[in-house]
Amino acid sequence: MLASFLLVAFAALAANAHSVMQQVHIDGKAQGALKGIRVPKSNSPVTIAQLNGNDVICNAVRTPLPSDVLAVKGGSKVGLEWHRTIGKLSSDVISKSHRAPIQVYLAKVDSAKKADVSGLKWFKVAEQGYKASTDTWATDDLIKNKGIFEFTMPSCIEAGEYIMRTDLIALHNADKPSGAQLYIGCSQINVSGTSGSANPSTVSFPGAYKATDPGIKFNVYKDFSSYTIPGPQTFSCSGNSAGSNADAAATTTTKASTKTTTKASTKTKSTESATAKAQSFVKTDSKCRAKRGHA
Ligand SMILES: *[C@@H]1O[C@H](CO)[C@@H](O)[C@H](O)[C@H]1NC(C)=O
């Protein structure tokens, strides 16, 4: 009796820690809850054990697929809005303990309503990881921005239909066998008004991430001086991979060569913040770490 009660309580707690991308914004205009989005069957993450399976492409999604294709102009601001509970655009974004980078990829398709997403060729258009100068993760900004991650749609890519894939890789168990948790959301878009000459290099899902990547297997509880976002370089129309979509406020970004963000040289500050970090981890992450067996 008690055991089953605990199990239920445990499951409820675990579900509360998750998050799903549930609304697209274009130039500040909300497109409607779940509109144009391939909604996952649940808010649970794709696990490291599933890294080489097809769920790492667009997650396991509800059918029928949406009939909407969202119109996006090249150069416009696109916002991807995350919340814990599917269909509930509340102030609940994601647990602060789920420190994570956030990335956005595009794959050109003949029809954005195409059901089969296997074999697509993806290029990254946005990423944000760890900002050493402020000791914050993309998810810290996400919570501050009411769940919205914003980036600029490249203006030089081919016009037409794309699957837009975002992922948020929660690292709170990334040093454990259960591993990092991938929250993945795909949406259906139609890009227009671009110059259409760029030819970004692409990667495949599954394939772009390995369980041993330094940005996938990572210990957020130890002091660290840098974090390497997994996957390819971010495509940018200027040809500079550290474009405006990249981790903006980093003081010393050596993205072009090493794709890592180096911690500011103020050693004292870094030690202090490490201590503060360790303390806040004990407080905020005890529940999360206790249930690390949960996917
Ligand atoms: C995509 O946009 C182009 C240009 O506006 C339009 O002609 C086309 O019908 C659109 N396709 C879809 C599926 O919305």
pLDDT, tens digit, 9 for 90 and up, residues 29-74? 999 999 999 999 999 999 999 999 999 999 999 999 999 999 999 9
CB 22 within 8 A of CB 171: no
Catalogue the E-assigned strands of the chain. Answer: 20-26, 29-30, 37-38, 46-47, 70-73, 77-83, 102-108, 122-128, 130-131, 136-137, 148-152, 160-170, 181-192, 252-253, 261-262
List the end-to-end C-alpha distance of the chain, in Å, as a whole number: 24
pLDDT of residue 291 exceeding 80 = no
Judge contact between 218 and 171, C-beta under 8 A.
Answer: yes
Q: 144 vs 248, which has greater pLDDT?
A: 144
Residue 152 Cα to ligand 1 midpoint, Å, equals 20
Residue 197 is predicted with a pLDDT of 81
- Ligand 1 pocket, residues with Cβ under 6 angstroms: 69, 161, 190, 192
Cα–ligand 1 centroid distance for 190 (angstroms): 6
* pLDDT, position 238: 87
DSSP 30-65: E--TTTTEE-BSSSPPEEGGGTTSTHHHH-SB-SSP
Mean pLDDT across 184-195: 97
Residue 210 has pLDDT above 80, yes or no: yes
pLDDT at 241: 52
d(CA 192, ligand 1 centre) in Å: 7
How many angstroms is it from 127 CA to the middle of ligand 1?
27
Mean pLDDT of 187-216: 95
- The pLDDT value recorded for residue 169 is 98
Contact 247, 215 (CB under 8 A): no
Please give the residue that has the higher pLDDT: either 255 or 189.
Answer: 189
Query: Residue whose CA is closest, atom 5 of ligand 1?
Result: 192
Ligand 1 center–CA 172 separation, angstroms: 41
CB-based contact 206:124 (threshold 8 Å): no
Has residue 270 got a pLDDT over 60?
Answer: no
For atom 10 of ligand 1, the residue with the nearest CA is 190
CA of 80 to the centre of ligand 1 (A): 21
pLDDT top residue among 94 and 290? 94
Q: Whose CA is nearest to atom 4 of ligand 1?
A: 192
Q: Once rounded to an integer, what is the mean pLDDT over residues 154-178? A: 97
Of all protein residues, the one whose alpha carbon is nearest to atom 11 of ligand 1 is: 190
- Percentage of the residues of the chain whose pLDDT score is greater than 90: 72
Average pLDDT, the chain: 82
Taking the centre of ligand 1 as the mean of its atom positions, its distance from the CA of residue 138, in whole angstroms, is 32
What average pLDDT does range 12-24 have in this prediction? Answer: 75
What is the model's pLDDT at position 217? 98
Specify the ligand 1 atom closest to the Cα of 113. 13
Q: What is the pLDDT of residue 277?
A: 41
Over 80: is that where the pLDDT of 17 sits?
no
Q: Mean pLDDT throughout 167-172?
A: 97
pLDDT band at 85 (very low <50, low <70, confident <90, very high): very high
Taking residues 174-182, report their average pLDDT. Answer: 96
> Which of 26, 72, 109, 190 most suits a substitution to test ligand 1, by most atoms within 8 Å of the C-beta?
190
pTM for the full predicted model = 0.80
